[in-house]
């Protein structure tokens, strides 16, 4: 199963350059890297990235992340939280997440 991380351009560039990241400011504050399932992505984008350009979507294999915990969050829904740094080697694929007139275009998530 794939899980996803949304990074701003500067955060994604830092991950690429350093090969690792402790995450975005919210991740640092909470002590884990916030991830989303495909079904959770639209609400995550709407709540935390509405109208924000310059985003990147990263896909990770949940089964390859032993430090991943599924914990209740919005409305009791279980969200994937990574309790270690995110490594570039964890990223299966990444791509820009364009912002159009109707919001962010997730495209195909496979």
Question: What CATH number corresponds to the domain at position 19?
Answer: 3.20.170.20
| Mean pLDDT value of segment 4-19 | 97
Contact between 100 and 90 under an 8 Å Cβ cutoff? The reply is no
Number of domains in the chain: 1
Confidence of residue 101 (pLDDT cuts 50, 70, 90): confident
Is 31 a member of any domain?
yes
Residue 83, domain extent? 2-97
- Which residue in 98, 21, 7 sits closest to 59, CA to CA? 7
Q: What is the pLDDT of residues 53-96, one digit of tens each?
A: 999 999 999 999 999 999 998 788 899 999 999 999 999 999 99
How would you classify the pairing of strands 91-97 and 55-61?
A: antiparallel
CA max distance for the chain: 38
Whether 12 has a pLDDT exceeding 80, the answer reads yes
Is 17 a member of any domain?
yes
Residue 97: beta bridge partners? 55
């Amino acid at each position: 199963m794939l899980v996803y991380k949304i990074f701003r351009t500067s955060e994604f560039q830092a991950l690429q350059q350093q090969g690792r990241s402790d995450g975005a400011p919210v991740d640092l504050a909470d002590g884990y890297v916030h991830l989303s399932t495909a079904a959770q992505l639209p609400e995550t984008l709407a709540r935390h990235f509405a109208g924000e350009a310059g985003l990147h979507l990263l896909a990770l294999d949940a089964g390859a992340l032993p430090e991943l915990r599924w914990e209740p969050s919005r409305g009791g829904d279980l969200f994937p939280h990574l309790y270690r740094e995110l490594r570039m080697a964890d990223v299966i694929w990444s791509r820009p997440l364009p912002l159009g007139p109707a919001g962010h275009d997730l495209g195909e998530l496979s």
